[in-house]
Amino acid sequence: MAEEQKGFRLSRRLLLGAAVFGGAVLWGGTTVARLARGPSGPKNTGRIADIDGIALPLKPIASPPAFEPSLPWLAKGGDINDASGLSRTPVYGVVEVSEEEHIVRALAFARATGLKVSLAAIRHSMGGHAFDDNALVLDLRKFNKVTVDAVAKTMTLQPGACWHDIQNMLHPRFAVKAMQSTDIFSVGGSLSVNAHGMDHQAGSVAGSIRSMRVMLADGAVTTCSPADNSELFRHVVGGYGLFGVVLEATLDIVDNAVYRTSREIIKSDDFPKFFAEVLEPNMDIGLFYGHLSTAPGNFLEDMIVYRYDKVAEQPPADQPALGEPDGVGLKRVIMNMAKWGSAFQELKWFTEKTLEPKFESCTVPRTSALAEGEACLVTRNNPMHDSVPYLFNDLMGETDILHEYFIPRAAYVEFIAEAREILRNQDLPVLNASVRIVHKEDVALTYAPEPAYSLVLYINQPADADGNTRMRALTRALIDVTIKHGGRFFLPYQLHYTAKELLASYPELPAFLAAKRHYDPTELFSSTFYRAIKALSGTA
């Protein structure tokens, strides 16, 4: 009997152990699968309802006009949101633009009915920049034709064209001159924020524009460039879609040069010297990327410097088509696990610093790579052809928010030291931090009145009121330290700043808003962002 009881106890322990082990395996497998899963749909988790205490939602239109039957409606009524998932906004309707005549008719309809018009495409700005309450939204994603002039080395394109598709069209002969460091955005969106990216020599998109055709609020079409009609040009570029609809833009393109890739780890404090002595003087370094550690052990202290040294003006004749990123599921898991705390942040940094180099592949054919002493070779298009699918997930209770702060170059070390302390002393996970090069920008609402470095942050938050409150506090602390050091914050992101911070960072704002009323007296073009900055400026 005793032996039977002992056997029963052993069996029960074995069964319990097997159940615990099986449960752990099942939980682990389920968790990993959840973390690796791509988006099942857009996030739509609410709206940040005010800016500096000023309410943003508007009352619905009491008697909305009938929908114009000649317009191609994508939606009649309903809500719209952006990449943050935190800007859910009720709109009058969405017109799917695929030809210029659609814009002509939509603006005429809006003028006749008193509707406001907003311009949208990919919608990666995160503060209601592409829509407004009760607005008629022009969805420009299918207004996306591109033509290339190989002799002039230009491309003429409509604003809905996406950089990812443009690169596929240009490859292998040509490459984009200036764009963001990822290719998910539309050209119109990039023009509206005057985007910049990995080419520290080319600077922002503004420097690559030959000319633009723009439809103004009254329906008139005009041409502008840095030399002709320059005041309109300075307000359309970096003007957040408030001055007119870009019908087409002609941009410079460049040869698809071949680069040798390399990386080295330096201290963040050494970066200004490294840039001045190594990167800036060497005109053969075509692209650059500075990635800061977000691991608690050396938070914003170590930096991986990725550089791309030109070894040939053109790729070989057998250059393959551009490929898509690989290892997406694994990268997504690592990124999502980094939200769990310091151990996983350390794992992420170890992966970036140690493992990634071992798995990188050369995209230029092997014969050419051998000629360069086994160096890893890529064309210019390869590192710029990244749609970062691993950053998008199916975790509906949270969202990831971009920040960017521009700092005069002489203030970099002091600024990073203070930003480091602010970020360490709060609990929202910092997923990525990078440094970019910014030139002096001659646009009306400039983020860089002098040459600057920019700190780009990617920060996770809960998609609820508490998450918004914590993100607002963190954003304001970072803006304050930026202003303290003579810098500016980037406006395409969430509306968490105060009136004092906005006007201290952008003293040109009153003149910008006056120009808006000059070019668009009835304020036909609007957005939640526009109403917000107007309210904070005191000109509402």
Report which DSSP code applies to 99.
Answer: S
What average pLDDT does range 257-267 have in this prediction? 95
Q: Please report which helix (H) or strand (E) contains residue 482, including its range.
A: helix 465-484
pLDDT confidence bin for 68, thresholds 50/70/90: very high
Answer whether residue 10 shows pLDDT above 70.
Answer: no
Answer whether residue 17 shows pLDDT above 60.
Answer: no
Convert the pLDDT of each residue in 200-247 to its tens digit. Answer: 999 999 999 999 999 999 999 999 999 999 999 999 999 999 999 999
Owner of token pair 């969202």: 399
What average pLDDT does range 16-41 have in this prediction? 67
Token pair of 54 as six digits = 């000023």
In angstroms, the CA 212 to CA 241 distance is 14
Helices 465-484 and 412-424: crossing angle in degrees, nearest 10, is: 160
User: Helices (DSSP H) in 353-440: which residue ranges?
Assistant: 356-359, 366-371, 381-384, 412-424
Convert the pLDDT of each residue in 384-434 to its tens digit. Answer: 998 999 899 999 999 999 999 999 999 999 999 999 999 999 999 999 999
pLDDT confidence bin for 33, thresholds 50/70/90: confident
Answer whether residue 275 shows pLDDT above 70.
Answer: yes
Supply the Cα-derived Rg of the chain in whole angstroms. Answer: 25
Q: Encode 331-369: b = buried (16+ Cβ within 10 Å), e = exposed.
A: bbbbbbbbbeeeebbbbbbebbbeeeeeeeebbbeeebb
In angstroms, the CA 417 to CA 378 distance is 35
Percentage above 70 pLDDT, the chain: 92
In angstroms, the CA 245 to CA 159 distance is 9
In angstroms, the CA 432 to CA 460 distance is 10
In angstroms, the CA 513 to CA 515 distance is 5
Answer whether residue 271 shows pLDDT above 60.
Answer: yes
- Residues whose CB is less than 8 angstroms from the CB of residue 130 and which lie 6 or more positions away in sequence, other chains included: 80, 82, 118, 119, 120, 121, 123, 137, 189, 241, 527
Q: Cβ distance 267 to 304 under 8 Å?
A: no
Q: Whats the size of the chain, residue-wise?
A: 540
Owner of token pair 């207004």: 143
pLDDT confidence bin for 326, thresholds 50/70/90: confident
pTM value?
A: 0.92
* DSSP characters over 37-61: PPPSS-----B--EETTEE---PPP
pLDDT confidence bin for 12, thresholds 50/70/90: low
3-class SS of residue 183: coil
In angstroms, the CA 279 to CA 276 distance is 6
Please report the pLDDT score of residue 513 as a whole number. Answer: 98
Answer whether residue 24 shows pLDDT above 80.
Answer: no
Number of H helices, E strands in the chain: 16, 22
| β strands within 184-293, DSSP E | 209-215, 221-224, 245-255, 258-267, 285-292
User: Helices (DSSP H) in 60-154: which residue ranges?
Assistant: 100-113
User: Helices (DSSP H) in 373-411: which residue ranges?
Assistant: 381-384
Q: How would you classify the pairing of strands 221-224 and 209-215? A: antiparallel
* DSSP characters over 322-369: PPPPS-HHHHHHHHHHGGG-HHHHHHHHHIIIIIHHHH----S-HHHH
The CA-based dihedral angle spanning residues 376, 378, 384, 388, taken in that order and rounded to the nearest 10 degrees: -50
HSE (side-chain half, CA atoms, 13 Å) at 365: 11
pLDDT confidence bin for 20, thresholds 50/70/90: very low
pLDDT confidence bin for 25, thresholds 50/70/90: very low
What average pLDDT does range 490-518 have in this prediction? 97
Convert the pLDDT of each residue in 434-477 to its tens digit. Answer: 999 999 999 999 999 999 999 999 999 999 999 999 999 999 99
Convert the pLDDT of each residue in 116-169 to its tens digit. Answer: 999 999 999 999 999 999 999 999 999 999 999 999 999 999 999 999 999 999
User: Residue 19 carries which side chain, given as an amino acid letter?
Assistant: A
Owner of token pair 């109403």: 531
Q: Cβ distance 159 to 143 under 8 Å?
A: yes
User: Residue 415 carries which side chain, given as an amino acid letter?
Assistant: F
In angstroms, the CA 77 to CA 7 distance is 69
Q: Cβ distance 307 to 400 under 8 Å?
A: no
Please report the pLDDT score of residue 365 as a whole number. Answer: 74
Nearest to 153 by CA among 259, 228, 255: 255
Q: Encode 55-94: b = buried (16+ Cβ within 10 Å), e = exposed.
A: ebeeeeeeeeeeebeebeebeeeeebbbbbbbbbbbbbbb
What average pLDDT does range 286-306 have in this prediction? 96
pLDDT confidence bin for 102, thresholds 50/70/90: very high
- Residues whose CB is less than 8 angstroms from the CB of residue 3 and which lie 6 or more positions away in sequence, other chains included: none
Report which DSSP code applies to 156.
Answer: E
Nearest to 486 by CA among 402, 537, 418: 418
pLDDT confidence bin for 21, thresholds 50/70/90: very low
Sheet holding 398-408, edge to edge: 377-379, 258-267, 302-312, 285-292, 430-438, 452-462, 398-408, 488-489
Percentage above 90 pLDDT, the chain: 84
User: Helices (DSSP H) in 83-236: which residue ranges?
Assistant: 100-113, 163-170, 187-193, 230-236
Please report the pLDDT score of residue 8 as a whole number. Answer: 44
Please report the pLDDT score of residue 14 as a whole number. Answer: 52
